[in-house]
Structure 1
């Protein structure tokens, strides 16, 4: 069957389940983005998919997130938790790919998101390997920030990267979560105020550096294991610390990202 027809059926099904149309721009974008580039198995079913740790949210969930985000023409947007890249692609269709930035803590997922976005025609979206709570300050401020992971409170660096009157959307809570939208408010005790609430959701928690797949959380344990494997050598500790800084991206904070072996922005 024609993929365009399948996309139309997907959005029609979402709107039928909701009992109302999606916001016009979001509905049109979801009818346009080829989800099959992000999900191979039944790409237009309303269900999530996970391949090698890279998550593609269910279309209905993406619609809920973007409705809460309320992106407007000309906005600069940041997606925290790139996953397989589908949400960023829909945002790119709405806003223009060069206005959309995404990050993920797991380098394999960064590779996958970049490849999927390129295949879908949204290669201009920037995807970087970063800890989500640190954001992407090189391209701030952002009019819209979307966190695709659960947090109790929005990380301070992300609030600081939010433009005046910008909107940050995130699943609030640990166990029971609620999708909320906030904006900066220097007069509020926590520096933000809630402007919208969109009901219950369930997301995995936001990971911090060391919790990505394949990395030991306790740095001392990792240091001991690696030192035993390679043997003692002069200056090893300094080299290890320097390596840790490069992995966390701290060397790049002073300017535009250095993609190194991540590949160039397309």
Structure 2
């Protein structure tokens, strides 16, 4: 079976599992972005979400990118570069130079850069950074995608969003819902620029039921999904999570390279007197 037939079967299976046709921009990206550079770098081939924090199932990728609803030339920040496949999908939609991605895991950054380069999206910027801090140097962003589960997006990411932008993230713990949030249309600003809610009791009640952070409203949900939670500094793979053990190891390593006195060069005092 040739590549075109395999890709057609893959898309048909995705639409069946999702339960609806794939949006045209996402469908075009699926048809154009090669899978091989990214699948070969994942031990599971992107078959399912779960234990591998760097590879997502195609179904989850489609849900995330669909909810992002990015347009051509939108500035996009992806938090959690992973193997880079979803980043490439977004780059195909908005343009590679408009996409920025960060990951707290240095090995993931190296892999994503290599995969994106092999797939023809070398213009995407992939940087090693704590996703909770975002990437303020290139803000604001029209779209922000979190590929890690959170209860609500970190404040820094919300502050780096354009006024009419959208944040997409897997909401919750365990099995999550892919949520798309936007700045709330039911809020205005007072004379001091402080956000204030409109005096509409029905809207206020709806807002109380919305798990979106203050100042935002949920505009779209997809699901379910099961992604790894967002990591903080010190939790990336290969790093000791127990702070005491980690710091003890760091101190021991520094002591091993420290000069203790007996390593000093021999001094021939007879020649110096």
TM-score relative to the length of structure 2: 0.77
**Deviation by residue 1:93-140 (Cα, 9 ceiling, x = unmatched):** 111100011111100110000000000011111111111111111111
Rounded to whole Å, the distance in 1 between the matches of 2:242 and 2:112 is 28
Per the alignment, residue 87 of structure 1 pairs with: 86
Distance 1:50 1:205, change over 3 A: closer
SS of the residue 1:171 aligns to? strand
Per the alignment, residue 21 of structure 1 pairs with: 21
Rounded to whole Å, the distance in 1 between the matches of 2:196 and 2:226 is 30
SS of the residue 1:124 aligns to? coil
Distance 1:41 1:193, change over 3 A: closer
Q: Which runs of 5+ in 2 are unaligned?
A: 185-194, 198-212, 260-273
Rounded to whole Å, the distance in 1 between the matches of 2:57 and 2:104 is 21
Paired residues for 1:90-101 under 5 Å = 90-101=89-100
> Is residue 180–residue 220 contact of structure 2 (8 Å, CA) maintained in 1?
yes
Aligned length: 232
Rounded to whole Å, the distance in 2 between the matches of 1:209 and 1:46 is 25
SS of the residue 1:199 aligns to? strand
Rounded to whole Å, the distance in 1 between the matches of 2:50 and 2:241 is 23
> Is residue 63–residue 223 contact of structure 2 (8 Å, CA) maintained in 1?
no
Q: Aligned pair 1:37/2:37, yes or no?
A: yes
> Is residue 152–residue 172 contact of structure 1 (8 Å, CA) maintained in 2?
yes
Distance 1:54 1:198, change over 3 A: closer
Per the alignment, residue 76 of structure 2 pairs with: 77
> Is residue 159–residue 184 contact of structure 1 (8 Å, CA) maintained in 2?
no
Rounded to whole Å, the distance in 2 between the matches of 1:133 and 1:105 is 9
Per the alignment, residue 243 of structure 1 pairs with: none
> Is residue 113–residue 127 contact of structure 1 (8 Å, CA) maintained in 2?
yes
**Deviation by residue 1:77-96 (Cα, 9 ceiling, x = unmatched):** 11111110000000011111
Distance 1:42 1:211, change over 3 A: closer
Rounded to whole Å, the distance in 2 between the matches of 1:25 and 1:105 is 29
